[in-house]
Chains A and B, each alone.
Chain A
Amino acid sequence: KAGVTQTPRYLIKTRGQQVTLSCSPISGHRSVSWYQQTPGQGLQFLFEYFSETQRNKGNFPGRFSGRQFSNSRSEMNVSTLELGDSALYLCASSPGQGFTEAFFGQGTRLTVV
């Protein structure tokens, strides 16, 4: 069974640009969550999508947005990039109903210069 796939693995962007990250969940999983991981703050929840609907949202500015497609693949977008957005962005996949484990992808390492 294929795991969670995130693309690209590495990105370098300039301050002020925007970026789109992609996540393909495990086949059959309908829930996708996004997390930002930084050395100082650890993993922080961005948002969760289930069946194309945002079900939960963390405490991040509106520059961070996401969507989920009918095949459960998800994209995350960050507009007007700031230096502080440099982080590892992780996507987690789960079946979505009831309590289930979340399986993480390898992450996308974003560097803003």
Chain B
Amino acid sequence: QKEVEQDPGPLSVPEGAIVSLNCTYSNSAFQYFMWYRQYSRKGPELLMYTYSSGNKEDGRFTAQVDKSSKYISLFIRDSQPSDSATYLCAMSVVPGNQFYFGTGTSLTVIP
């Protein structure tokens, strides 16, 4: 079993829809949680990061962490065609760069 599981999609939604992306994990020691966006032929771009459980909002993006369920989510409101990309969740146990990534969810927002 992989430490981080993520539905690969693909996910296709109309412009303006609310998008929900999710990851589950098995290691209860994970404390730091991140979401990255990756466009084709580009490196991952950090969208949001959170520590421990709770919600964090940044513009159209909201990240949620439920450590009791080992479940994290990213919500995108008023989705735009420019949001079309692969979304990767990542997490780590301690501060530092040893992140464990999900395999990514491919999202297409249709105009």
Contacts and interface: CB of A to CB of B under 8 A. Distances in A.
Given A90-B43, A104-B44, A104-B45, A43 B98 contact: no
B43 A94 contact: no
Contacts of A31: 96-97
Interface of A: 4, 6, 31-33, 35, 41-45, 48, 55-56, 58, 90, 92, 94, 96-107
10 contacts: A42-B103, A44-B101, A90-B43, A99-B92, A101-B46, A101-B49, A103-B46, A104-B44, A106-B41, A106-B42
A104 B99 contact: no
Contacts of B90: 43
Interface residues of B, number: 24
Given A42-B104, A99-B32, A101-B34, A106 B98 contact: no
Interface of B: 32, 34, 36, 41-46, 49, 51, 88, 90, 92, 95-104
